[in-house]
Amino acid sequence: QFLLQLILIGGASVLNVLGIEHVSNSNTLLMVITLLPFLLLFLCEIPHLDTKHWMDTPQTFDWRAFLPLISWNFSGFENAGHVVEEVAVPGKTLVRSLVLLLLLSQAVYIL
């Protein structure tokens, strides 16, 4: 276990020394490796999808289950302020992007 930890720390150190391009490429590769099983599961499930009930509207709505779910899904928006220094006109751009994001997210939930 110690050897594995040493290899991981050494590999991360070497990537950092080699430069940001190598770090970016390895992050992209790790992202693809992480998402690939989910994509394969989704593709394998497509033939078994039952779409006849997708547009059904429930007679009652459980707000006690819905509101915590929405709150959890939208958590992390407060972290958008961390990149404000990277934007040309942060006061305008950040507000616009967050409002657009919230509107689109709400539209997805409503649809």
pLDDT digits (tens, 9 = 90+) for 8-32: 999 889 988 988 888 889 989 999 9
The residue ranking higher by pLDDT, 111 or 32, is 32
Cβ–Cβ < 8 Å for 79, 73: no
Residue 48 CA from chain centroid, whole number = 26
Q: Which of 107, 80, 79, 106 lies closest to 94 in space, CA to CA?
A: 80
Which pLDDT score, from 0 to 100, does residue 19 have? 87
pLDDT at 97 over 70: yes
Neighbours of 70 (CB within 10 A): 13
Which pLDDT score, from 0 to 100, does residue 31 have? 93
> What does the pLDDT look like over 59-90, one tens digit per residue?
888 888 887 777 677 777 777 777 777 888 88
Which pLDDT score, from 0 to 100, does residue 40 have? 96
User: What totals of helices (H) and strands (E) does the chain contain, helices first?
Assistant: 4, 0
The residue ranking higher by pLDDT, 35 or 84, is 35
**At a CB cut-off of 8 Å and minimum separation 6, what does 98 contact?**
77, 80
Q: How confident is the model at residue 111 (pLDDT cuts 50, 70, 90)?
A: low
Helix (H, G, I), strand (E, B) or coil at 56: coil
